[in-house]
Amino acid sequence: MINIQEIDADRLEMAASMLKAIAHPMRIAILKHLEGGKKLTVTEIHELLGIEQSTTSHHLGILKDKGVLCARREGKNTYYYLKHDILSQIVDCLQRCTCE
Amino acid sequence: MINIQEIDADRLEMAASMLKAIAHPMRIAILKHLEGGKKLTVTEIHELLGIEQSTTSHHLGILKDKGVLCARREGKNTYYYLKHDILSQIVDCLQRCTCE
DNA sequence: ACTAAATATTCATATATTTGCATCTGTTAA
DNA sequence: TTAACAGATGCAAATATATGAATATTTAGT
């Protein structure tokens, strides 16, 4: 027996956990670099952002876990990319809201 | 002496803190109730969501603090409303991304 | 099989967030 | 000026998150 409120609560949880995944300066920076369907490896991102390899991997893992990114392994590299292109909207929206 | 990277880092920080403010199930629920320019009091929200008055006030304080909501006092009541209408985009975007 | 490169995981520590009770402040009406 | 209502704040305990050093895993080349 499932009721509407439970479904709604689950949706809210899911949305929140997705947003929480994005809500970090480095992870927003990662999304910016992946806009437009770009695919980057862990090493590329860790060099672009100037943060530790393991920290980078942690962040990417979180984003993948929460359904923000997808990962595809190709040989020694793992390419990460946006799961939903529309997620760029969120970054754009933030960009507009933080102009003042 | 300010450099581009610092500005950029500040923007990222700001964007992240705004997003972090939104990234909570109850706070997303609050935003949903405020879509379309609606204004609601603390009591109305605390009754709509079925959570404690003080918890509600804390959540609203966070959202106001991080620039997501505005507050206007009218007599005994404080009305809260969206600071930027476009922020509804984020909620809509999440709705679409959590459909699967 | 051995080595090196790329990535992932484990673990510990530091830091931040969430919640609600209790309490305080501000506002209106009697 | 007091009572009652609406909202904000201080505090503490529980929980969650962030970071990076060390280590493990996966893969390719020799």
Partners of residue B82 in chain A, C-beta under 8 Å: none
pLDDT in tens, B43-96: 999 999 999 999 999 999 999 999 999 999 999 999 999 999 999 999 999 989
Q: From its phi and psi, is residue A78 left (phi > 0), alpha (psi between -120 and 50) or beta?
A: beta
Is the Cβ–Cβ distance between B64 and B17 less than 8 Å?
no
Measure the CA–CA gap between B74 and B41, rounded to whole angstroms.
10
- Residue A57 phi/psi, 5-degree rounding, is -60, -40
Distance B4 CA to D16 C1' (A): 33
- Read off the pLDDT band of B3 (50, 70, 90): low
Per-residue pLDDT of chain A (100 residues; tens, 9 = 90+): 666 666 688 999 999 999 999 999 999 999 999 999 999 999 999 999 999 999 999 999 999 999 999 999 999 999 999 999 999 999 999 989 887 6
Partners of residue A86 in chain B, C-beta under 8 Å: 93, 96-97
Pair type for strands B40-41 and B77-82 = antiparallel
pLDDT recorded at residue B30: 98
B67 at interface of A, judged by CB pairs closer than 8 A: yes
Q: How far is residue A10 from each of residues A7, A17, B7, measured CA to CA in Å?
A: 5, 10, 37
- Residue A61 phi/psi, 5-degree rounding, is -60, -45
Q: What residue of B is the nearest CA neighbor of A87? A: B93
CB-CB under 8 Å, B87 with A90: no
User: Hey, which residues 29-48 in chain A have their CB within 8 Å of chain B?
Assistant: 29
Predicted confidence (pLDDT) at residue B38 exceeds the cutoff of 70: yes
pLDDT recorded at residue B99: 77
Measure the CA–CA gap between B69 and B51, rounded to whole angstroms.
19
CB-CB under 8 Å, A94 with B93: no
pLDDT recorded at residue A64: 98
Q: How far is residue A25 from each of residues A86, B15, B89, measured CA to CA in Å?
A: 19, 7, 20
